[in-house]
Amino acid sequence: MRKMIKRSALVATALITGVVNVASATELEVTHWWTSGGEANAVAELAKAFDATGNKWVDGAIAGSGGVARPIIISRIIGGEPMGATQLNHGRQAEELIEAGLLLDLTDVASENNWRNVIYPSNLLDACTVDGRVYCAPVNIHSAQWLWLSHEAYESSGVAVPSNWDEFVAAGPALRANGIVPLAQGQQGWQTGLTFGVLATALVSEDAWYAVNRDKDATVAGGSEYARVWKAFDDARKMAIGSNVGDWNMATNLVITGKAGGQIHGDWAQGEFSVAGSVAGTDYSCLPGLGNREILDTGGDAFYFPVQDDADVEAAQKELAALLVSPAVQVAFNLKKGSLPIRGDIDMSTANDCMQKGLKILGGGNVLPSGDILLSPDTSNQINELMTTFWSDLYMSAEDAQAKYAKIIASAD
């Protein structure tokens, strides 16, 4: 078996005593799918903090988003070629790996660092916990429920920047007449699924949302409240015609450059605006809950640590786990990433206007759990496949798609 984690020697010279000490440092290969400009800036903060401990972060970035990276990550762990640490979304993605005993138990780290009392909201740690044992370190809160709007696109089209979803749809024809795509949308299944999920969160009641996503109520999924979501999803796919890009950050760039009016996307889009030098409130606006409901979900990223047979490696893994949740790293990483911190006891006063909106909503407790937490990967994949088919097949009616959606929910686990 190829050993992915190596050990190297660091030589430290004590200038006063003149004595040379040789200390052992551990290299950890860390896999993740953060490869856009904003994401790369953020992950560099994690690497810098870990390297400062005397250990070494060996970057294992996998291009192509989580949908590409997760199967590779899981295959390596199952196949006996584990990395030292890996990003996954906190939720149900690691269930089988935990059941197989392939992931390191971090309960002692969580206890020593008081995670139960400092991680907020508490469901983030709950999502890392199986049978009372903690198996991952949450690193951020990523909320999908945002509409990002280009001021340039609307000003050049002679219409006001929208303040909610209905205004966004109504402004579409003016942008189209000006040669601007109303809605930027990357052509990947997870992005299409994200758009549907954001519309559902913004347009249905909280009771209806929980009935579908938590209680798996097919009657509600096929009913009148969700019919409104499917109508909006139909509007969205028509507004996105001409948005011929693949990756999400390419869609974000269309908004940054004024070639598209807006993008429904997660708060990680902020990293791209930051790299481009765009200023929130001046160059672009952000509408949490599409301007209809100020509510966010609490999905996000966490790090898991595959079991190793080396005590030094395990010590380095636990050191990294503790570091990821520490106050200084939480501030540095999330300011670059555009995500919200998983601690409420840190100073985020330098965050931009959009992040401040998110912090206010989070502080008020107006949050929902992420679909990654409530739905199994199999159910999520089925939903994404349906969304992709509907998005690309303009002949499929919203009514037919909703009926198929209700069938998936009926058999969801």
Q: Tell me which of 400 and 141 has the higher pLDDT.
A: 400
How many other C-beta atoms can be found within 10 angstroms of the C-beta atom of residue 364? 10
Angstrom distance (rounded) from CA 269 to CA 273: 7
Q: Which tokens sit at 75?
A: 């295959």
Asked if residues 202 and 166 have their Cβ atoms less than 8 Å apart, the reply is: no
Length of the chain equals 413
> Which neighbouring-strand residues pair with 23?
10
pLDDT of residue 285: 95
Q: What percent of the chain has pLDDT over 90?
A: 70
Region 85-109: what's the mean pLDDT? 90
Region 103-124: what's the mean pLDDT? 94
Q: Which residues are CB-neighbours of 282 under 8 A, at least 6 positions away?
A: 151
Average pLDDT, the chain: 89
Q: How confident is the model at residue 6 (pLDDT cuts 50, 70, 90)?
A: very low
Q: Which of 62, 54, 2 is nearest to 26 (CA)?
A: 54
Residue 192 vs residues 94, 184, 227, 294, 403: alpha-carbon distances, Å: 23, 11, 17, 21, 18
Region 116-124: what's the mean pLDDT? 90
State the burial class of residue 7 (Cβ atoms within 10 Å of its Cβ: 0-12, 13-18, 19+). middle
> pLDDT tens digits for 256-291?
999 999 999 998 898 899 889 999 999 999 999 999
Q: How confident is the model at residue 158 (pLDDT cuts 50, 70, 90)?
A: very high
pLDDT of residue 171: 98
Window from 1-5, 136-140, 274-278 with minimum mean pLDDT? 1-5
pLDDT > 60? residue 25: yes
pLDDT > 50? residue 1: no
Q: Which of 355, 195, 376 is nearest to 286 (CA)?
A: 355
pLDDT of residue 286: 95
Q: Which of 374, 168, 182, 339 is nearest to 259 (CA)?
A: 182
pLDDT of residue 20: 32
> Which neighbouring-strand residues pair with 245?
186
Q: Tell me which of 24 and 401 has the higher pLDDT.
A: 401
pLDDT of residue 298: 80
Q: How confident is the model at residue 3 (pLDDT cuts 50, 70, 90)?
A: very low
pLDDT > 50? residue 14: no
Region 390-410: what's the mean pLDDT? 95
> pLDDT tens digits for 284-335?
999 999 999 988 888 789 999 999 999 999 999 999 999 999 999 999 999 9
pLDDT > 80? residue 23: no
| Element containing residue 203 per DSSP (H, E) | helix 189-203
pLDDT > 90? residue 131: yes
> pLDDT tens digits for 165-221?
999 999 999 999 999 999 999 988 889 989 999 999 999 999 999 999 999 999 999
